[in-house]
């Protein structure tokens, strides 16, 4: 689809979706702060090409950071075009073929599908126009970003990490951040649930060194496929081939036997010595909006770095939503809706993961209901399927619902009967979830809103009965049947007392620092800071929710550690303010961090 990342850059520029910045900029904090301001403008702003960095190569950020650019990256006009194409494809494949003519009509499709499979080619690719091996292969040559002030160092944030299953030879391409330790070693942050971690354990059992190759750049569809929830043992480059309509061309690495896309911009080759102890990695300002704190992960050793002569270094910034990953999630919704219907839950009509849920925390589903309590079957099925196992809050609505309409959802939530709508379970969490006491495991809640009838009584809340020290915000009461309360983090609360004051469905308690946040920001904070088993109680028909930060170790149910939110430091904000006119971006945009710093619990990445 695109000959190179540079080809995509040129298309973005022709579409007025790119800003070139020729002013000298630093890859340490400055680029990230500029990008954070841009991505949080309406619609995601524009992609940014920093042409004059402190290294040899330009840096591209926010390349996926709008619905339009995400569609352009995948070669379509609108993201809905992808789901329509997949629905048609699956319908053609699965429909009955009763006659010879019907079967013959399948032949062109089979011919097209044969073009999707990745192909190996001999010789070197464009990604190997420059080859650096051994001591010459220095990571310090690349403009790898440090994004946030309490990050443990610089991180590669858009790596396509290639590993091979030693038992069956099947390739996996995953996106696992890489912290730079020195010129020749990094961390590899693959979580316990990821395929890369499974491959690592397989090599460790064999007592063998694990080859790894990291591709960066190239056709933007590559990086998307590396993030996609492709089933285990299915090649991510098959998905890329389907999206592009042609096969990915692969070439062999210089110092190991892994094959990578021949047209990517950089390749970092190396290995993990499975006999080595894991090393401390982090902290890192993550897509949850909080720092993911230090933990132990494998060490990657660099044996070679290869790159194109005209290489562009792509990077993404993650932090408090919305960020670029929100638009990647939009594409994921569209692409994987059809397989969900086919394989897992045919009742599902549509799916929406709002950016406030940082991908996994909140999902809204519309579904066809054919029998009573079918929503319970759908919820439990989704929680056991692929990366949906990480979901914490699931909302199930009638098939006619526009899941992206706040008004329609508000009406359902305002009128639901929580005594009959609530579905509770427990299961797997993303290990980045900081609210649960047991890493990677916690409670889940689904709301069955498929049979909601209008209520006659208006929601109300009697704040006069509350003890002193609790403030009441009624702004969401009428529309959402929700009352917001504010109290200090350590203020004890009586959930029964709060519920008695409520003739509404939801009462959510936040720390006083959250005053002044928008409804969408409060939704993000609620989803991030709660574990349903500990923090949510159904009392007298109302859900009472404690969305405050949980002091580490204060009770057995509290996490042992609690991260701070991710914001820029004062020096970086002041630097970018002072230099704004030099960048040529347009009217000055205030730093989002100034708005969010009120939520900081202490200095540093961790609440001490």
Q: Which helix (H) or strand (E) holds 505?
A: none
Of the listed 36, 219, 283, 286, which one is catalytic?
A: 286
Nearest to 151, CA basis, from 180, 122, 192: 180
Cα–Cα distance for residue pair 85/273, rounded to 1 Å:
43
Residue bearing tokens 């970092």:
268
Cα–Cα distance for residue pair 201/194, rounded to 1 Å:
11
Which region holds residue 358: left if phi is over 0, alpha if psi is between -120 and 50, else beta?
A: left
Do 62 and 45 meet the contact criterion of CB atoms below 8 Å apart?
yes
Cα–Cα distance for residue pair 530/544, rounded to 1 Å:
12
Write out the two tokens for 60.
């591209």
Cα–Cα distance for residue pair 150/143, rounded to 1 Å:
19
- List the 422-428 sheet strands across, edge first: 348-352, 362-367, 393-398, 441-448, 422-428
Active site residue 511: no
Do 176 and 161 meet the contact criterion of CB atoms below 8 Å apart?
yes
Q: Is the peptide bond before 322 cis (omega within 30 degrees of 0)?
A: yes
Nearest to 321, CA basis, from 518, 40, 26: 40
Q: Does residue 414 sit in helix, strand or coil?
A: helix
- List the 536-539 sheet strands across, edge first: 471-473, 482-487, 506-511, 542-546, 536-539
In this structure, are strands 482-487 and 471-473 parallel, antiparallel, or unpaired? Answer: antiparallel
Strand partners, 50: 21, 59
Q: Which residues are catalytic?
A: 286
């Amino acid at each position: 689809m695109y000959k190179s990342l540079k080809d995509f850059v040129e298309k973005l520029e022709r579409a007025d979706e790119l800003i070139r910045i020729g002013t000298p900029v630093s890859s340490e904090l400055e680029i990230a702060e500029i990008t954070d301001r841009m991505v949080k403008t309406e619609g995601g702003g524009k992609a940014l090409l920093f042409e004059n960095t402190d290294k040899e190569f330009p840096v591209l950020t926010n390349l996926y950071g709008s619905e339009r650019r995400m569609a352009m990256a995948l070669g379509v006009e609108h993201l809905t075009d992808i789901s329509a194409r997949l629905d048609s494809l699956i319908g053609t494949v699965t429909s009955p073929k009763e006659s010879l003519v019907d079967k013959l009509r399948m032949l062109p499709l089979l011919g097209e599908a044969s073009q999707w499979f990745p192909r190996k080619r001999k010789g070197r690719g464009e990604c190997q126009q420059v080859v650096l091996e051994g001591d010459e292969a220095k990571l310090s040559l690349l403009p790898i970003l440090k994004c946030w002030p309490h990050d443990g160092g610089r991180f590669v944030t858009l790596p396509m990490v290639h590993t091979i299953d030693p038992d069956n030879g099947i390739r996996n391409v995953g996106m696992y951040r890489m912290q730079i330790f020195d010129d020749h070693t990094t961390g590899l942050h693959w979580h316990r649930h990821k395929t890369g971690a499974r491959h690592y354990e397989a090599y460790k059992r064999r007592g063998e060194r694990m080859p790894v190759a990291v591709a960066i750049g190239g056709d933007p569809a590559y990086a998307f496929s590396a993030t996609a929830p492709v089933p285990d043992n299915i090649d991510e480059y098959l998905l890329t081939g389907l999206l592009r309509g042609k096969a990915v061309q692969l070439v062999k690495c210089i110092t190991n036997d892994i094959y990578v896309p021949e047209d990517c911009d950089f390749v970092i080759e190396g290995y993990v010595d499975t006999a080595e102890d894991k090393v401390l990695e982090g902290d890192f300002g993550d897509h949850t909006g909080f720092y993911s704190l230090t933990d132990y992960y494998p060490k990657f050793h660099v044996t070679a770095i290869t790159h194109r002569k005209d290489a562009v270094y792509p990077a993404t910034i993650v932090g408090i939503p919305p960020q670029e990953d929100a638009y990647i999630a939009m594409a994921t919704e569209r692409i994987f809706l059809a397989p969900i219907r086919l394989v897992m839950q045919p009742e599902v009509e549509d799916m929406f993961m709002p950016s406030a849920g940082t991908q996994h925390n909140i999902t809204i589903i519309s579904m066809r209901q054919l029998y009573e309590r079918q929503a319970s079957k759908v919820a439990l099925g989704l929680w056991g399927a692929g990366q949906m196992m990480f979901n914490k809050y699931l909302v199930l609505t009638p098939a006619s619902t526009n899941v992206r309409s706040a008004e329609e959802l508000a009406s359902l939530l305002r009128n639901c009967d929580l005594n009959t709508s609530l579905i509770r379970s427990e299961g797997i969490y993303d290990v980045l979830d900081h609210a649960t006491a047991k890493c990677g495991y916690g409670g889940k809640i689904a709301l069955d809103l498929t049979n909601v009838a209008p209520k006659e009584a208006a929601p109300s809340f009697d704040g006069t009965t509350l003890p002193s020290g609790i403030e009441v915000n009624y702004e969401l009461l009428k529309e959402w049947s929700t009352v917001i309360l504010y109290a200090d983090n350590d203020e004890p609360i009586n959930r029964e007392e709060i519920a008695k004051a409520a003739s509404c469905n939801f009462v959510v308690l936040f720390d006083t620092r959250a005053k002044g946040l928008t409804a969408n920001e409060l939704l993000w904070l609620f989803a991030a800071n709660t574990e349903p088993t500990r923090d949510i109680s159904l009392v007298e028909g109302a859900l009472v929710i404690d969305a405050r930060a949980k002091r580490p170790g204060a009770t057995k149910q509290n996490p042992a550690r609690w991260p701070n939110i991710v914001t820029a430091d004062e020096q970086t904000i002041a630097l970018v303010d002072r230099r704004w006119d030099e960048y040529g971006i347009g009217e000055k945009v205030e730093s989002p961090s100034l708005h969010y710093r009120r939520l900081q619990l202490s200095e540093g990445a961790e609440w001490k």
